[in-house]
Chain A
Amino acid sequence: MDKTIIYFDHAATTSTKKEVLDEMLPYFTQSFGNPSSIYNFAVSNKNAIDVARDQVAKAIGADEKEIFFTSGGTEADNWAIKGIAESYKAKGNHIITTSIEHHAVLHTCEYLAKNGYEITYLPVDSDGLINLDQLRSAIKDTTILITIMFANNEIGTVQDVEAIGKIAKEKGVIFHTDAVQAVGHLPIDVHAMNIDLLSMSGHKLYGPKGTGALYVKKGVKLKAFMHGGAQEKGRRAGTENVPGIVGLGKAIELATNHMEEESIRQAKLRDYLIGQVLDKIPYSRLNGHKVNRLPNNVNFSFQFIEGEALLIMLDLKGVSASSGSACTSGSLDPSHVLLAIGLPHEIAHGSLRITFGEKSTLEEVDYLIEILQGIVIRLREMSPLYDDFLEKQR
C-alpha cells in the first residue's frame, strides 16, 4: 500500500472520469465547430450543449432554461453576487452572508463593501451552523441578497438550506447558495428549497477543471458578467467550452445516478474514521457538525501540533490530504472557518481535512488511522506546547 498514493483530498479536486473524458474527446478534434455557426456540422455542438444543460438542470431540479455555463464555481459565485448587487441596486445595497463562506464569496463581498455595499457576516455556532433567527433579524428593507453556502468545504457542515430559502422567500429577498461541495453529494431541489441562484463546479465531481454553472431562477434579473457575443442568451458571452460543458453534463449525471448509494457508503467510512481517531488519539477533536455534514468530509484538530508538518509526514507515507493551517494557505492566519467556529489559533493550526471519493476504501481508511497515530505522537514529541501541557498536568 505504501507505494501507491492514497488520495484523500476530493474536496480539493477529483480526477476526470474515463466515461466523462470519452464523451468530451470528440469535441476537441472532430466536432470542433463553433456552436454559433450556421453549417450543419457545427449545429451538432449546439445540441451537445443542450443535452448537457438538461443533465445539469435535472441534477438540481431546475428547468434547463435556468442553467448558464461558466468557467467554474468561482465565476458562478462572482457573477451571482456582483450581478445581483448591480441589478437590484435601486432596491438596496445590503447583502447577508456568513463568516465561513469560500473565498470566492467572501472576497467578492469584500470587493462590494469597498464599492458602497453593506455586508452582514452572520456568525456560526461551534458546529458551523448559522442561527436562523439571526438571519431573519438581519434582513432589512435594503437587503437585496442572501448568499449562504450549501455545505462548507473545510468542515463539511451542511446548512438548513430549505429553512433559509423559506425565510428568503417570506421576506422577498433573493437567495444564492454556493453548492460547489454539495452538488452530486446531497439531494438538491432548487424549486422546493426556494433557491434563486446556485453555483456549482465540474472538477469536484469527476468532471473537467475550468467548468461550472450558475442556476438562475426564472424571473431573477441578473446583469451579464461577460460582455460580447450572444452566447448563453446574451448573459455570458464567449464561445462555449463545448468539450468542458459536455464533460460537466456527463459528470453531474453520473454523480447524481450514484449519489444515494455512494453517500451512504462514504458516510459509513466517515463515521468509522471519526470514531476510531477520536478514540485512539488523545487531545483530538472533530470540527464541523456530527450529523449535518457532507458524507465525504472529515476534519480533525490535533492539539499541540501544526497541520503542515502533519501533511508532509502523511505525504511521505503516501497519503494526500489538506489542512487549515496558515502554512498551507499561503497566508499567516489559520483558516477563517476554523476561527469562526471558535477554535483558538493554536488548535486551528493543527487541523487535518480528509475528503473521500468514489474509490476510497475501508482498507485505505484503516491505513490512515494506523499511520496517523504514529505521526501525531512523533510531532507531539517535538512540540514544546505538549511539554508545557504535560508540565501543567503534573
Chain B
Amino acid sequence: MYTEKVMDHFSNPRNMGEIENADGVGTVGNAKCGDIMRIYLKIEKGIVEDVKFKTFGCGAAIATSSMATELVKGKTVQEALHVTNKAVMEALDGLPKVKVHCSLLAEEALQAALWDYAKKNGIVIEGLKEPKEEDHDHELDDEEE
C-alpha cells in the first residue's frame, strides 16, 4: 500500500529526535485522531541548521515527518516556508488517498515551528500565518494518489 520511499522513511526515519533549546518548536494534530507531530528547528542566520521530529502516528505520518525534515534542512526560512504537503508527497512518490492528511500535518507542524521561531525572536516571516489551534479536522484531499 505504501511506496518504497515511504517504507524507507518509515523504517529508517531521518532526523528523528529532539533539539534541546530549539529555536522553534511546533506541535500539531491530536491524539484523538491518532496522529501528533512535533518539529524542532535550529535556525542560524536565517538558515535551518538542524531539524528533528517526533511523531505519534501511522506509517505515513512517520514517513512524511521524516521527509519534511529532510526537505527543510539547510534551507533558508523562506524556502522552508514553501515546503508544502504537496512537495512532501511528491518526494515520497505519493501517498494513499486516506493518508494525504498526514502530509498536511507535516506542513502544519513545520509552519507551527517557524511561527514559534518568529515569535520568540520578534520577527515577521513574510507569508507565514499563525497556526490554528487543534484544527486538524482530517479533511481529505482528493488530488493525489
Q: B-contacting residues of A (Cβ < 8 Å)?
A: 304-306, 308-309, 312, 316, 325-327, 330, 332, 334, 344-346, 349, 381-387
Tell me, yes or no, whether B54 is within 8 Å of chain A by CB. yes
Q: How far is the CA of A69 from the CA of B138 in the complex (A)?
A: 42
* Residue contact A384 to B56, C-beta cutoff 8 Å: yes
Tell me, yes or no, whether B42 is within 8 Å of chain A by CB. no
Tell me, yes or no, whether B36 is within 8 Å of chain A by CB. yes
Q: Which residue of A lies closest to B137 (CB)?
A: A332
Q: Give the segment of B25-33, B83-91, B121-129 that binds chain A.
A: B25-33
* Residue contact A387 to B18, C-beta cutoff 8 Å: yes
Tell me, yes or no, whether B59 is within 8 Å of chain A by CB. yes
Tell me, yes or no, whether B55 is within 8 Å of chain A by CB. yes
* Residue contact B58 to A385, C-beta cutoff 8 Å: no
Hey, which chain A residues are within 8 Å of B32, CB to CB?
Answer: 345-346
* Residue contact A308 to B58, C-beta cutoff 8 Å: yes
* Residue contact A306 to B10, C-beta cutoff 8 Å: no
Hey, which chain A residues are within 8 Å of B16, CB to CB?
Answer: 381-382
The answer to whether A325 and B58 touch (CB under 8 A), given A306-B35, A349-B34, is: yes
Contact of B58 among A306, A384, A387 (CB under 8 A): A306
Hey, which chain B residues are within 8 Å of A312, CB to CB?
Answer: 2, 7, 10, 59
Hey, which chain A residues are within 8 Å of B37, CB to CB?
Answer: 384
Tell me, yes or no, whether B131 is within 8 Å of chain A by CB. no
Q: Which residue of A lies closest to B13 (CB)?
A: A382
Q: A-contacting residues of B (Cβ < 8 Å)?
A: 2, 7, 10-11, 13, 16, 18, 27, 31-38, 54-62, 98-99, 138
Contact of A384 among B10, B54, B60 (CB under 8 A): B54
* Residue contact B34 to A309, C-beta cutoff 8 Å: no
Contact of A345 among B34, B38, B54 (CB under 8 A): B34
* Residue contact A306 to B54, C-beta cutoff 8 Å: no
Q: Which residue of B lies closest to A334 (CB)?
A: B34
Hey, which chain A residues are within 8 Å of B13, CB to CB?
Answer: 382
Hey, which chain B residues are within 8 Å of A385, CB to CB?
Answer: 31, 36, 56
A-B contact pairs, 30 of them (CB 8 A): A305-B56, A306-B34, A306-B56, A306-B57, A309-B57, A309-B58, A309-B62, A312-B10, A312-B59, A325-B34, A325-B58, A326-B34, A327-B58, A344-B31, A345-B31, A345-B33, A345-B34, A349-B31, A349-B34, A382-B16, A382-B55, A383-B36, A383-B54, A384-B54, A384-B56, A385-B31, A385-B36, A385-B56, A387-B38, A387-B54
Q: How far is the CA of A305 from the CA of B58 in the complex (A)?
A: 9
- State the Cβ distance, B120 to closest chain A Cβ, in Å: 19
Q: How far is the CA of A302 from the CA of B99 in the complex (A)?
A: 22
Q: Which residue of B lies closest to A348 (CB)?
A: B34
* Residue contact A382 to B31, C-beta cutoff 8 Å: no
Contact of B98 among A309, A330, A334 (CB under 8 A): A330
* Residue contact B56 to A332, C-beta cutoff 8 Å: no
Hey, which chain B residues are within 8 Å of A306, CB to CB?
Answer: 34-35, 56-58, 61
